[in-house]
Amino acid sequence: MRYLLFASVLVFTSCDYGSFDKDKRQIMAKDFVEWHLPPHATEFDITAFHEDTVSDGIDANFKHSLAYNLSYHFTDSTHQVQQKRTTVLFTPNGHSIITAINQP
C-alpha cells in the first residue's frame, strides 16, 4: 500500500500540465528580440508584454498562431536610447517562432 501511494504521488507531481508554456514563450520571444538587436546595443529591457492570437478568418477550425507583442528599449552604439515595439509570431502549438515584425 505504501508503494502504491508513493507511485501515485510521483506520477501526479511529475506531469507537466503546460502551465509554464506561456513563460517559456515569453523567454523565447525576449531572447529572439535581443538576438536581433543592432551590434553594440546595451541596456536591453522589456517594458511591456502582451500575448494574443492571430485570426486570419480563413477557416474557423484552423488553429491560430500566437502573437507576443513586446515593447522594449535599448541603448544603441551612439548612446541614444531607442524605444521599439515588435510582434513575435509563434506556431499554433507555441513551440517555434515563425518570425518577428517590427512596428513603427
Task: For residue range 17-49, list pLDDT tens digits in order.
Answer: 556 788 898 999 999 999 999 988 999 999 998
> How many whole angstroms separate alpha carbon 70 and alpha carbon 30?
8
pTM higher than the cut 0.85: no
CA distances to 38, 41, 42, 75, 81 from 78, rounded to whole Å, are 11, 9, 11, 8, 9
Does the pLDDT value for residue 87 go beyond 60? yes
| pLDDT for position 68 | 92
Domain extent listing, the chain: 21-103
Q: Helices (DSSP H) in 2-101: which residue ranges?
A: 2-14, 21-35
CB 37 within 8 A of CB 74: yes
How do strand 81-90 and strand 65-75 relate by DSSP bridges?
antiparallel
Does the pLDDT value for residue 72 go beyond 80? yes
Percent of the chain surpassing pLDDT 70: 75
Does the pLDDT value for residue 83 go beyond 70? yes
Fold of 21-103: Nuclear Transport Factor 2; Chain: A, (3.10.450)
